[in-house]
Amino acid sequence: MATAADQDLYQQGVQSLMAALQAHRPDADLARIDRAARLARFAHRRQRRKSGQPYVVHPIAVATIVAELRLDDDAVIAALLHDVLEDTQTPRAWIEAWFGQEVVTMIEGVTKLSLNVQAEANEKQRAVAETHRAAESLRKLLMAMAQDFRVMVIKLADRLHNMRTLGAMPEKKQTRIANETLDVYAPIAARLGVYHVKSELEDLSFAILHPQEFAEIRDRVAKTNREREGELSEAMVTLREKMAERGLRNFTVNGRSKHLYSIFNKVVKHGVPFEEIFDLVALRIIVQEPHECYTAMGVVYEMYRPIPNLFTDYIQTPKPNGYQSLHMKVMGPGNAPLEVQIRTKHMHEIAEFGLA
Ligand code: MN
C-alpha cells in the first residue's frame, strides 16, 4: 500500500517532469500530462520496482527523459503509460478515451518491441542466442523507427532509466542487459543523433561489465584532468580573447571530459597505453553562424599546430543523422594532443536532441 514515502517519491518525480517540460517544452499541456501521471500511479498502485520504490517512479522518469529530448505531449504521455497495457489490468479503452488513439498506438509499439529472453542451457548456446537476439532486436528497432521514431525514443529512454537503476537486479541479469545495451541501444542512440544518451548508455554498461577497469580509468581521468586544469583554462581564456579580436560575438568555449568508454576502447581494444592517451579533454567552441566556425578554426590553428589528417568537416559533409561540426586535433597546451570541436548553436542542439 502507498506510504507517505511513496507519495513523496511520486510528487518529486512529477515535479522533475514538470520542470523538464517547462525548460524544454514550454507549450506543453501540463494538465493533460498530469492526468496521465495520475493514471499511471493508479494503474501501477500494487507494483514495486526491484529497488522497493513504487513502480510509477519508473514511467515518470522515462517521461522526463522523453521531455528533455523535446518530444511532443503524446510521446510524453505514452512514456508515462508505456508499461500500463502490458503489466496492469487497465483497459485499453480508457487510455483511448482519455488520451486518444495515437497514444495507444505508441504504447502498443513500445510493448511489441519487448524482447523476451529465456535462459539458455549452456554458455555456447547462450552466446549464439544472444548474437541472434541482438541482430533481431536491432532489426525490430529500426523497423519501429521507420514507422514512428517516437516509439524508438521512448524505448531508448526506458532502457536509459533501467540502466541507471540496474544495481537492484541480480548480477547475471545486469550483465545480460548491459551487453544488450552496448550491442543494440547505444548504436540506435548514435543513429538517432542523441550522443549524450549514447555516451551515458555506454558508460553505464562499461561500469557493469568491467567494474575494475571502469574505476581505474575514472580515477586516472580525474587525476589527469586535475593536473591539466590550469593550462587548459589558460588556453580557453586566450582563445576567447583572440576570437573576440576577430569580431566573433556570443560564442562559448568549454572543456569537457571524453566519456570513459571511448578511452576504455582505446586502451583495451586498440592496445594504446593509458599514458599515451593525452586527449582526455576536448574543447568545444559554439558560435552563432556557420561561417564563424571557420573563423574560429583559423584562431585555433593560429595558436596550435594541427596534427595532420585529423581534421573532419562535418559542416560541408554532415553525418547521415544530420550531425554537423568541425573536428580537429592540434598539439595543445603542454604539447599534448587536444581535440577541438566547433559548431553553431543550432548544430549543437541537433547533436544534443537529434533531428526530432
Ligand atoms: Mn519500462
Catalytic residue selected from 8, 34, 72, 87: 87
How does pLDDT run across 258-284, given as a tens digit for each residue?
788 888 888 877 888 877 776 677 899
Q: How far is the CA of 286 from the centre of ligand 1 (A)?
A: 36
pTM of the predicted structure, to 2 decimals: 0.81
pLDDT of residue 91: 93
How does pLDDT run across 85-105, given as a tens digit for each residue?
988 999 999 999 999 999 999
The CA-atom distances, in angstroms, between 275 and each of 169, 271, 335, 336 are 35, 11, 14, 11
Q: How far is the CA of 249 from the centre of ligand 1 (A)?
A: 44
Catalytic residue selected from 68, 73, 83, 86: 86
Is 180 marked active-site?
no
How does pLDDT run across 308-354, given as a tens digit for each residue?
888 999 999 998 888 999 999 999 888 888 889 999 999 998 888 77
Is 352 marked active-site?
no
**Which band of pLDDT confidence, cut at 50, 70 and 90, is reported for residue 113?**
confident
Q: How far is the CA of 146 from the centre of ligand 1 (A)?
A: 21
Q: If residue 295 lies in a helix (H) or strand (E), which one and from where to where?
A: helix 290-303
Percent of the chain with pLDDT over 70: 90
- Angle ∠(317,71,202) on CA atoms, nearest 5: 65
Which has the minimum average pLDDT: 30-39, 70-79, 119-128, 173-182? 119-128
Q: How far is the CA of 158 from the centre of ligand 1 (A)?
A: 5
pLDDT of residue 111: 86
Q: Measured between alpha carbons, how far is 354 from 324 in angstroms, rounded to an integer?
A: 11
Residue 355 pLDDT more than 80?
no
Residue 61 pLDDT more than 60?
yes
How does pLDDT run across 174-193, given as a tens digit for each residue?
999 999 999 889 988 988 88
Q: How far is the CA of 32 from the centre of ligand 1 (A)?
A: 21
Count of CA atoms in the C-beta half-sphere (13 A) of 27: 4
